[in-house]
Amino acid sequence: MGNSVSTTGIVSGRKDKQALAESFKDLHAPLSDHEALVASDRCYFCHDAPCVTACPTSIDIPLFIRQIATGTPEASAKTIFEQNILGGMCARVCPTETLCEQVCVREVAEGKPVEIGRLQRYATDRLMAAGTHPFERAAPTGKTVGIVGAGPAGLACAHKLAVLGYDVTIYEARRKGGGLNEFGIAAYKSVDDFAQKELEWLLSVGGITIEYGKTVGEDISLVSLREDFDAVFFGMGLAGVNALSCEGEELDSVINAVDFISDIRQAADLSQLAVGRHVVVIGGGMTAVDVAVQSKLLGAQDVALVYRRDKDSMSASLFEQDLATSKGVRIIYNAQPVRVLSEGPALSVEFAYTETNGGKLTKTGETFRLDADQVFKAIGQSLTGAPEALTLQGGKIKVDENGRTNVPKVWAGGDCATGGDDLTVTAVAEGRDAAIDIHTTLLG
């Protein structure tokens, strides 16, 4: 007999392939043509619309929705892509409930916003499915730009520069592009290998070369980049993982959540991926939710997500928290790990209850223990491998409002740089805006 949810230890095949396929299907089904027309009709075409202000990439949302309503989703997609070339992925992964949809006047009035995210996906899917690219490159500028990282920031920067007539080379440390879109997002938010398809579609504009397996500090350096290119953009993301800083962290079954999420995304067969019967996740962001939910979907019998502060402080949105609980994840607020104990192959995590007094988090003195076969650390990522010449601030590359670093002709954006939330959409905005500033600087 095969394994089941109640098989002891860390094992694969807790669910059969069919059950796994059902569990990991698209979180939000795509809108049909008619559903899109009905959903688009709900948009009021607000003046100076709050949704546009709330969008980090300032997509003209009322316009693109109206273009759907009038039967021209391709024109709609172009409106989206003009501001956000990764509009397809953002339609899937943006926390719209805390961005555009949160401020939709119909959310405010009725608690039911226009479904901006799903409509954006409808439009972008339509155009991308046609296999065409809506932008043409300007006449060659004769200038070149080197980019570190083929994640959302680097790709957005590269695309904008390519359209403006630059030749761009991207150096990517991994063997695949897409960054967190490829490695760091829950599988049910990006089904059917969408990140790679989007990458290929983006590159079809031309003028962008990606060199895979090239790491800063090993294969390339700030000095060589500055010598080889007219401008340099760093969009290298956060490759490090924050430590729990508690006893037992070094135990084998205490795992970085980002690695497991990546394993899930890269798995050819999810039934071959092992997961614990009892899983404990420590953290409070999207990564914590993504790993907790996916552990449950893989067949873990019980999954506890433990966060040190209260519900409202959690950086994962209420929607994400509800998603987690609806999938059977138990969220424990106000508890922080004290130590991880080894009990044979199994683990036990001791937590201390916390409370916030005058803005300060303190332990109450009470503790409890959770049994765990696997413990996932999801308490944030950190910058590693940034060239020493770049000034850091708060652990990130310090940039001004145009994305410029302290080093001339070097820009940075996305998670590795200061400013903005660590979201795909923010990274796209920063990459795009850096590209425009590079253009202004080089040819202005």
Partner 1 sequence: MADLTSNFVGITSPNPFWLASAPPTDKEYNVRRAFEAGWGGVVWKTLGSEGPPVVNVNGPRYGVIHGADRRVLGLNNIELITDRDLYQNLDEIKRVKADYPDHAIVVSLMVPCEEEAWKAILPLVEETGADGIELNFGCPHGMAERGMGSAVGQVPEYIEMVTRWCKQYYSKPVIVKLTPNITDIRKPAAAAMRGGADAVSLINTINSIVSVDLDAMAPEPTIDGKGTHGGYCGPAVKPIAMNMVAEIARTPETSNLPISGIGGITTWRDAAEYMALGCGNVQVCTAAMTYGFKIVQEMKSGLSQWMDEKGYASIDAFKGMAVPNVTDWQYLNLNYVTKASINQDDCISCGRCFAACEDTSHQAIIMSEDRVFTVNDAECVACNLCVEVCPVEDCITMVEQAPGTVDERTQKVVVKEHGDWTTHPNNPSAVAAE
Interface with partner 1 (CB under 8 A): 34, 37-38, 41, 44-50, 105-106, 108-109
Select 39 or 435, whichever has its Cβ closest to partner 1.
39
Cβ of residue 105: shortest distance to partner 1, in angstroms? 4
Phi and psi, residue 331, nearest 5°: -100, 125
The residues, any chain, with a CB within 8 Å of residue 80's CB and separated by 6 or more, are 59, 64, 87, 120, 123, 124
The stretches of 216-312 forming alpha helices (DSSP H) are 222-228, 257-266, 286-298
Cβ of residue 34: shortest distance to partner 1, in angstroms? 8
Cβ of residue 39: shortest distance to partner 1, in angstroms? 10
How far apart are the C-alpha atoms of 195 and 182, rounded to whole Å?
Answer: 5
Select 2 or 71, whichever has its Cβ closest to partner 1.
71
Select 71 or 206, whichever has its Cβ closest to partner 1.
71
How far apart are the C-alpha atoms of 142 and 165, rounded to whole Å?
Answer: 8
Select 47 or 175, whichever has its Cβ closest to partner 1.
47
Report whether 170 contacts 210 (CB < 8 A): yes
Cβ of residue 320: shortest distance to partner 1, in angstroms? 26
Cβ of residue 381: shortest distance to partner 1, in angstroms? 36
The residues, any chain, with a CB within 8 Å of residue 98's CB and separated by 6 or more, are 317, 319
Select 111 or 131, whichever has its Cβ closest to partner 1.
111
Phi and psi, residue 392, nearest 5°: -105, 155
Cβ of residue 415: shortest distance to partner 1, in angstroms? 32
How far apart are the C-alpha atoms of 436 and 417, rounded to whole Å?
Answer: 17
Residue 427: its H or E element: helix 424-443
Select 34 or 175, whichever has its Cβ closest to partner 1.
34
